[in-house]
A and B are shown apart, each in its own frame.
Chain A
Amino acid sequence: MQKVKSKRLASAIPCLKAWRKSIRKHWQLYLLLIPVLASFIIFNYIPMAGIQIAFKDFTLKDGIWGSEWIGFYHFERFFTGYKFMTILKNTLLLSVTHMIFTFPFPIIFALALNELRNARAKSMVQTITFAPHFISTVVIVGMMTAFLQPDTGIINIALTNLGVLDADTYVSRLPQFFRPLYIMSSIWTNMGWSSIIYISAISAIDPQLYEATEIDGAGRFKQVWHVTLPGIRPVIITLLILNFGSIMSVGFEKVYLMQTSINMDVSEVISTYVYERGITARQFDFATAVGLFNSIINLIMIVIVNKIAKKVSEVSLW
C-alpha cells in the first residue's frame, strides 16, 4: 500500500514539475487561453447539460435541472409519430441525391482547369467561379425565386418560349422541383469553391510523371486518366468517405428558406422539424429529443467513417 502510494507520488512529482515549469515559462500563453476556454464552456459545453430535457417534462418555470424525469417518452412519441418516416425519408433522400450529384463536379472542374495552361485565363476563371461562395443563402434562394417567377422571371420566360413550361408554373414553390433546385443551386454556389482542395492536390503531383507519360506518347486525355486522376485519388476517397459521415445532417438554412406550404411533404427534414417543434411550437423537450437523436447518429457516422478513412487512405480528421 505504502509502496504504491509512493510510486504514484514519484510519478506525480515530475509531472507537477513539468506543469509548473510550463506555467512559469508560458503563463502569458495560458492567460490568452482563458477567455477562449471560457467562451467554449459558456456557449458550447453548458448547452450540452441542457440535453437532459430530452428525457424530462420540461417547463420554463422549473428550469432545466428542476423539471421532472420522464425517460424516453419524447423519443417514443417521435419514433411512433406519423411524421417520423416522412422526415427520415426526406432527410436521407435529400442528402444522398445531393451528394451523388454534387460530388463529381468539383473533381471534373479541377481536372479541366488543370488542362487550361494559360495562367491568366485560369486565374480569371477561378476568380469568377469562386464568387458565388461569398453570396448568402438568402440571396441565392432569392435570385432563384426571382428568375423562376411565373410570367416575369427570366428563366420562366425562356422555358416558356422553348415550350417546356407553362408560363404560370410556380417552379420555386412546387414539390417536384424542390430537390432539383436545391441540388442545382448548390452546384452553382459550390462547384468552383469545392474544387480548391483538388486543385491543390493536383499541384502536388510530381511533374516528372507527366514527362514520363509524354515520352511514352500518351495524349492529354491519357495523362489526365493515368496520372492526374490517380494522383488525387486519396483526396477523392477521403472526401467521399467524409461526405458519408454527414449523410444525416442536412443544413437547416437553405431548406428552411426554400420551404413553402406546398412543398412541405418533400422539404421537411429533421433540422427544420426541430425548429418548427421547438422554436415555433415551443415544445422544447420534444424538439431537443429529436435534435439529440440526429446528433447522436451524426456522431456515430463520423466516428465510423473516420475509422474507415484511416484504413483506406491513411488520412483522417484526427
Chain B
Amino acid sequence: MVKREKKMRKRLSKSDIIFLTAVYFFIGLFTLAVLYPLIYVLSASVSNPAKIISGELVLFPKGFSLKLYEKILTNKNIVTGYKNTVFYTVFGTLYNLIMTTCAAYPLSRKDLKGNGFFTFIITFTMLFGGGMIPAFLNLNNLGLINSPLVMILPGAVSVTNFIIMRNYFMHSVPNEVIESAYVDGASQIRTLTSIVLPLSKSILGVLIVYYAVGHWNAYFSAMMYLQDDSLMPLQIFLRRILLLNSMEGMTGGSSLEDQLLFEGMRYALIVVAVVPMLALYMIMQKSFRKGIMIGAIKG
C-alpha cells in the first residue's frame, strides 16, 4: 500500500497537481462549511450573549460562562420535553427493533410459504397510503390522539429498514448455519435469538441509529397528534423558542438582560438537542460504516 502511494506520488504531473489542488480545495471548503456552524453554535453556547449579538464572537468562545445552560436546565418546559423525548426514543426504538426483526427474519427465509405476499403487504405501504387526514381520523377513532402511545405504536416498521435487515439476513447470515441449527432441534425463535441475531450486530447497530435518530428528531407526529404540553417532546419546544421566539415561561422578559439571555439561549438549546444523537452516531460509527455500505449496495 505504502509502496503504491509512493509510486503514485512520483507520477504526479503538473496537470495532476492542479487537479488535486482543486479537489482538496473543494473537500476542504465543504468540510469547513459543515464544521463552522457547529463550532460556532458550541462556542456561542458558552459565551456571554452580548458578545454574540455584537458579532464579536467569530469562532472561539468570548467571555466564557455556563449561565445559558443553567437557564435552560431550570426551564420547566425544556426539562419536560427532554424527559419525554428520551422516553419516546428509548421505548420507540426498542419497539421498532423488535417489530422489524419479527418482520425481517421470517420474510428472509425463502422456504416460508406466502413470503412474497406478506412482503408485498409491507412494501406497498411505501407507494401508497391513506394520507395525512385519514391517518389522523384513524388515530382519533383508536383513541390514540393525545396519548403518549401515539409516538411509539404507529410506524412500528420502517419499510426501508425492513428491507435493509431482510437483505442482511438473506445475504450475510449463511443459510447452512440456520438449517443446521434447525436440524439440531433448535426452534425457529431460538435460532433467531441465539444464532442469527448475534451474527447481525452491525446491522442492529445501524437500525438502532436510524430509529433512535428518527424518534429523537420527530416533530411532525407530535404536532399532529399531541395536545398537552406535559406530553410534548423537545422538538416542539425547540420550534417555539427557535422559530416562534416564544419565551416559554421565562420570567421577566422585558429587561435588556433577559433579552440577551434569550438570544444566547438558542445556542445552548441547540447543543443540548443535538449532542446526544451526534454522540450516538460517533459511538456506532464503526458498525455503522460497515452496515450502511451493505445496505447501500444490496438495498
Residues of A participating in the B interface, judged by any CB pair closer than 8 Å = 18-19, 21-23, 25-26, 28-30, 32-33, 35-37, 39-40, 42-51, 53, 64, 108-109, 112-113, 115-117, 125, 127-132, 134-139, 141-143, 145-147, 149, 151-152, 154, 157, 188, 191-192, 196-197, 200, 203-204, 214, 219-221, 252-253, 257, 271, 274-275, 278-279, 284, 287-288, 291-292, 294-295, 299, 302, 318
- Bitwise, B235-276 to A at CB < 8 A (1) or not (0) is 100110011000000000000000000010011001001100
Contact B99 A274 (CB under 8 A): no
Total inter-chain residue pairs, C-beta < 8 Å: 255
Contact A128 B35 (CB under 8 A): yes
Closest to A302 in B: B127
* Among B224, B263, B274, residue most surrounded by chain A Cβ atoms (within 10 Å): B274
Contact B127 A299 (CB under 8 A): yes
Give Cα A48–Cα B130 distance, bound, in whole angstroms.
Answer: 4
Contact A29 B296 (CB under 8 A): no
Neighbouring A residues of B280 by C-beta, 8 Å: 134
Q: At the interface, yes or no: B168 with Cβ under 8 Å from chain A?
A: no
Known contacts being A32-B189, A127-B282, A127-B285, is A22 close to B238, with CB within 8 Å? no
Closest to B263 in A: A152
Q: At the interface, yes or no: B177 with Cβ under 8 Å from chain A?
A: no
The list of the 10 closest CB pairs from A to B, nearest first, reads A50-B134, A47-B130, A142-B242, A136-B217, A22-B113, A291-B131, A29-B106, A157-B55, A28-B188, A47-B134
Known contacts being A32-B106, A36-B99, is A139 close to B131, with CB within 8 Å? no
15 interchain pairs, CB-CB under 8 A: A32-B105, A32-B189, A33-B118, A36-B103, A36-B156, A39-B157, A44-B130, A48-B129, A127-B282, A129-B30, A192-B30, A197-B296, A219-B16, A253-B219, A291-B131
Contact A18 B131 (CB under 8 A): no
* A296, chain B: closest CB distance, angstroms: 8
Known contacts being A22-B111, A36-B157, A146-B266, is A138 close to B243, with CB within 8 Å? yes
Neighbouring B residues of A117 by C-beta, 8 Å: 5, 8
Name the contact of A39 in the complex, choosing from B138, B142, B156 (C-beta under 8 A): B156
Q: At the interface, yes or no: B73 with Cβ under 8 Å from chain A?
A: no
Name the contact of B137 in the complex, choosing from A50, A125, A157 (C-beta under 8 A): A50
Known contacts being A131-B278, A302-B127, is A39 close to B296, with CB within 8 Å? no
Give Cα A37–Cα B162 distance, bound, in whole angstroms.
Answer: 13
Contact A112 B27 (CB under 8 A): yes
Known contacts being A29-B109, A50-B137, A253-B220, is A39 close to B153, with CB within 8 Å? yes
Q: A116-B23, A143-B270 are in contact. List 18 more A-B contacts (CB 8 A).
A: A26-B111, A26-B112, A33-B102, A33-B103, A40-B157, A47-B130, A51-B131, A131-B38, A132-B34, A136-B217, A136-B219, A143-B41, A154-B57, A192-B34, A200-B296, A220-B19, A257-B219, A257-B239
Contact A131 B99 (CB under 8 A): no
Contact B281 A51 (CB under 8 A): no
Contact A295 B129 (CB under 8 A): yes
Contact A51 B134 (CB under 8 A): yes
Neighbouring A residues of B23 by C-beta, 8 Å: 112, 115-116
Contact A43 B155 (CB under 8 A): yes
* A98, chain B: closest CB distance, angstroms: 18
Known contacts being A44-B129, A284-B133, is A220 close to B281, with CB within 8 Å? no
Contact B238 A287 (CB under 8 A): no
Contact A188 B33 (CB under 8 A): yes
Contact B189 A284 (CB under 8 A): no
Closest to A18 in B: B113
- Bitwise, B94-129 to A at CB < 8 A (1) or not (0) is 000001011101110101111000100111010111
Known contacts being A50-B137, A136-B235, is A112 close to B131, with CB within 8 Å? no
Give Cα A131–Cα B105 distance, bound, in whole angstroms.
Answer: 30
Neighbouring B residues of A271 by C-beta, 8 Å: 132
Contact B131 A43 (CB under 8 A): no
Contact B34 A128 (CB under 8 A): yes
Q: At the interface, yes or no: B69 with Cβ under 8 Å from chain A?
A: no
Contact A284 B103 (CB under 8 A): no
Contact B34 A146 (CB under 8 A): no
Known contacts being A219-B13, A221-B19, is A130 close to B281, with CB within 8 Å? yes
Give Cα A113–Cα B23 distance, bound, in whole angstroms.
Answer: 8
Neighbouring B residues of A154 by C-beta, 8 Å: 40, 52, 55, 57-58
Q: At the interface, yes or no: B37 with Cβ under 8 Å from chain A?
A: yes
Neighbouring B residues of A295 by C-beta, 8 Å: 128-129, 131
